[in-house]
Chains A and B, each alone.
Chain A
Amino acid sequence: MPLTMKKQGDRLSVLLRGDIDHHSALPLRNAIDEAISRTRPKTLRLDFSEVTFMDSSGIGLVLGRYRNISTYGGALELSGLSLRYLKIMRLSGIEKIAKIRGGDESAKATK
């Protein structure tokens, strides 16, 4: 599975890796949802710094996980988004519901 998960206190951090498209999104979704229901984090952080490609399936993945954790009051954080991924994410207005942590926006701008 192209992801690594870490539970630190109340936070579940998920490092996503590789391409996020419709094909890869389903196993990612299942793994993250399973970890959410098992650990009930106050904050879910999705880290995109190792993502090599993303299309609108990435937005769906994020919005779906937001719906999942917000049913019991959890918050969502996104990190490691390149300018390109940020541009895609912003089409959904995600910045209104998730905290977007600065980090390395310029370094991966070409992805």
Chain B
Amino acid sequence: MVAVSVQQVTKSFGATKVLRGVDVHVPAGGFAVLVGPSGCGKSTLLRLLAGLEEVTSGSIRFGEREVTRLEPRERDIAMVFQSYALYPHLTVRDNLAFGLRLRKTDPAEIGRRVDEAAAMLGLSHLLDRLPKALSGGQRQRVAMGRAIVRRPALFLFDEPLSNLDAALRAQVRVDIRKLHDQLGATSVYVTHDQVEAMTLADVMFVLNGGVVEQQGAPLEVYDAPATRFVAGFLGSPAMNFIKATIEDAGGGGLRARLGDGSANLALPPGLPARPGQAVEVGVRPHDLELCDESAAEIHLKVDFVELLGPEIHAHCVLAGAPVIACLETRTGVSVGDTLPLRVRRLHLFDQESGRALR
């Protein structure tokens, strides 16, 4: 178990700057998730942690230890690859034992640890098979097992679930978190899937274009996105954004004139916005709530309805911008209805900088 501290790390491949000064701090035993759209540099950062790539500048420390220039094998880490990267010529047992054998661990100890890991992951009956005779889920578990038996101070996961089907993914997600809690080692987990990020993370780092846009506990980040990008990236369905201009509502209050100007929204007091400022109003689909006509802040006409079972997604247009509202199924909304809605919570972003105004 070791704390991870990445300081002002940059990484370029030739002229391409992939990471532009990243700081990441993970407490010992924590589960950190690096999340971001594909191509944002998550894998690169993880590979820097593993020692598979060398930093262009900046430093990496594991606990008190400076590891920036160390070889992977000197870092006491284990990594689970997206493709699993199992040794195709070795049986499951030998795959698991490979790292231990290289370290000249006592054979009896190797046997014990392999059996233990296999039991933990339900691989016991597969130990004598070659990887090519395994299903995708089994391979994934072998890759996990290979990391576990090593008992490293730090686990690195690079999108380990992306090659699994949806049902399996949900299950393994839970398994991974349980394993982490059981083993207690620090974990750094890379994914582009915000659901995984939200459910797994103790601390979450949202990467975009080679920088950390925001970090923090998942719910904090979800509730208070620091930028328009983070707000849009987290949450499903994604947050609704409507371009707006700030206007003086009189009486010291401000309001946002939405989109084409056909609707207004009163802003809560205390927001650092000034009249005339170009902003984007962000409203999560779940923050739109049906209400009485009298209490309605906006009215939306339903174009299309997705039935998901417990809830429905009503696709509407607000002041020329598409908007989705997540409503309880029992409300019985159907296409053509005009909905009186209340905005439970809204976010405001400066159009120019994309920063949240709060």
Task: Say whether A associates with B.
Answer: no
